[in-house]
Structure 1
Amino acid sequence: MKYAVLGAGAMGLRYGVLLQEAGFDVDFVEIWQPQIDKINEQNGVFVSRDHVNKHLVPVNIYTPEEYNGDPDVWIVFTKQMQLADALKRTAHAFKNHQYVVSPMNGMGHIEKLNQYFDKTRVIGATALIGTVLNGPGDVDFIGAKGAGSMNMANETEKPDEMTHKIFDDFKKSGLNPVLTTNFLGTLMAKVIFNSVVNTLCTMFEIQMGEFIQSPVAKKLSQQLINEAFDVCERAGITLLNTREEEMKSVEYVSSVSNPLHYPSMYQDMSKGRKTEVDYINGYIYQLGLKYHYEAKTHDFLRNLVHLAEFSRDFDVDALEKSVLATEMVK
């Protein structure tokens, strides 16, 4: 089958390159112009694994406006806040027969995808796969070959023949998929995972392996997990894992699968980009409010991340000039 990846950042490149290496035809559609320019300039993307064996992989990359291909399956990997614009710009290439798989972080994307794709062709997914974009045209796959896993579920919760074909292609590509029939439970399990690891690692600028070694890591994680499970129970969402299994997942991925990984939220923060915290911790908090429950720890963390974004972007020189001008007036 033919695939097109919308959002050729770190994870989009990993999925696309692995599918391409497994023998599938893959196109990449990207909205960040420096990424497109660099990949075209060097005739491909440089790929490393755990910072070694850097090599050039040829890829086909387009802006949304340039792309006129007809893939069987779209894989959508933009940031949540970029998705509406990316879909609008690419809409001319969407066809009724196409399926879409979206392993994006956070929640809020399914409603946007439903504006362009019928629910029978939407597959929600999650990925426990660490990847870092070092810069334009330079991606680093974290973890040994075959490391990481993903879950996928049809929005209808009824896997069809095409779903099984996609599943088989992902399996052949080393993405280690698991097919479930619990759509919201599948997506929310990853949101909860990210609400712990992504947010806390970002706040304290540490790798997942460093975070999990802290003597308070389990206490903080369990508090966030418990609040999120309380929200889901009130919302009638049955999660894939129990509270205990979710904690074990945090411990295993952080200490064994991806101890050297800086989560995507940290990568965004460190590079001056807006984070997706409103679609992760913020989503859990807002969902809780609908059912008269306040996930206060999630709201507190969300606000801390926004304060960190503000302090990162704060213009110290402008403040000093303002203070100096005020003193001169006095």
Structure 2
Amino acid sequence: MKYAILGAGGMGLHFGTLLQDIGYHVDFIDTWAPQVEAIRKQHGVYVSRRGQDRHLVEIDNIYYPEEYDGDPDVVIPFTKQIGLADMLKRCAHFFNDKQYAVTLMNGMGHIEKIDEYFPKQHVIGGTALIGSILTKPGEVDYVAKKGTGSCNLANQTEHIDDTTREIAKEFTEAGLNATIHENFMGTLLAKVIFNSVLNSLATSFQCSYGEFIASPSAKPLSIDLINEAFDVFERANIKLIGTREEVWHTIYHTAHDINPEHYPSMYQDLVTDRPTEVEYINGYIYRLGLKHGYIAHSHKFAINLVHIAEKLHQTRENKKD
């Protein structure tokens, strides 16, 4: 397969370079000039794993959207939710109805935008338990041990076709450990719950996953958010792919054993003065609950915590100036 990554940030580079390393053709497309120009100047991206073994991975095919005229088989949007509509619009000139779109983005709100450009039977929803940090333009750190990440894929039509199987096979060959599911919404929302706990709370307290999970208060806070999310989705008649207990186990195992040093992407947005995605994560759960007559108080509280953290960071940065 030929791949086009829309958004050469931490996750886009992680997926793209791993696929490229085992021989698949990958083109990178980005709108952020410092990133594009740094990669072009270096002829690649400097990659570290947990701060070690810094080395240059060659990339000579990174483009601004308007420059790109390739014909990929698979398009993988890896932008932030807030920037997706603009990215898709700027890339629409090379989309066609034969291509597949694989989305591994955080939060909810992206599927509807992707459906405007790709047939629903060619849209694969995914979730990734893989950590990456863009430390500066042209430099990325993969924060977990090699081979420990994983991703889940589900076709929007919930029909597992040959192309979906092939994409999952190639992801797994690259060390991304893909599993195919038939429950589309359940697959997406399992990661929404995960992020509504770890991303939002670690960002609020401006700490790593490991620092958060080490607190005795981490479990009761997490369980409250998990239970409310399940209550909301049950009222919306959405079946998830795991149980409440399994979700907590995944959160604990990820934070304590796999990625204890990781700071979530929401935190990275906070400290670089980008809007966080809390409204696409906890906000999605809270608004869906209201639609079904349920008030998810803990999720509303988490939303407010993140917005307070955003405001405090902005205030402190302004005082430095």
* Structure 2 unaligned blocks of 5 or more: none
Q: Distance in 2 between matches of 1:105 and 1:177?
A: 17
Q: Counterparts in 2 of 1:1-330, with a 5 A limit?
A: 1-59=1-59, 60-314=61-315
TM-score, length of structure 1 as denominator length: 0.95
1:325 — aligned with what? none
Deviation at 1:179, TM superposition (A): 0.3
* Structure 1 unaligned blocks of 5 or more: 319-330
1:323 — aligned with what? none
Change (3 A) 1:215 1:72: same
Q: Distance in 2 between matches of 1:244 and 1:115?
A: 36
Q: Distance in 2 between matches of 1:282 and 1:309?
A: 15
Deviation at 1:308, TM superposition (A): 2.0
Q: Distance in 2 between matches of 1:37 and 1:198?
A: 30
Deviation at 1:312, TM superposition (A): 2.1
Deviation at 1:208, TM superposition (A): 0.6
Q: Distance in 1 between matches of 2:166 and 2:244?
A: 32
1:326 — aligned with what? none
Deviation at 1:317, TM superposition (A): 7.0
SS at match of 2:116: coil
Is 305-314 or 235-244 further displaced after alignment? 305-314
Identity of aligned residues (%): 57
Deviation at 1:275, TM superposition (A): 0.4
Q: Which has the larger radius of gyration?
A: 1
SS at match of 1:280: helix
Q: Distance in 2 between matches of 1:310 and 1:149?
A: 34
Q: Distance in 1 between matches of 2:2 and 2:291?
A: 41
Q: Distance in 2 between matches of 1:117 and 1:172?
A: 26
Q: Distance in 2 between matches of 1:315 and 1:248?
A: 36
CA deviations over 1:216-262 (Å, ceiling 9, x no partner): 11000000000000000000111111001111111100111111100
Equivalent AA in structure 2 for residue 284 of structure 1: I
Equivalent AA in structure 2 for residue 175 of structure 1: L
Deviation at 1:41, TM superposition (A): 1.0
Deviation at 1:273, TM superposition (A): 1.0
Q: Distance in 2 between matches of 1:68 and 1:142?
A: 33
Is 299-308 or 116-125 further displaced after alignment? 299-308
Deviation at 1:313, TM superposition (A): 2.1
Deviation at 1:301, TM superposition (A): 1.2
Equivalent AA in structure 2 for residue 140 of structure 1: D
CA deviations over 1:144-164 (Å, ceiling 9, x no partner): 110111100000000111111
Aligned length: 318
SS at match of 1:134: strand
Q: Distance in 2 between matches of 1:216 and 1:310?
A: 24
Q: Distance in 2 between matches of 1:50 and 1:225?
A: 29
Q: Distance in 1 between matches of 2:22 and 2:290?
A: 45
Deviation at 1:315, TM superposition (A): 7.9
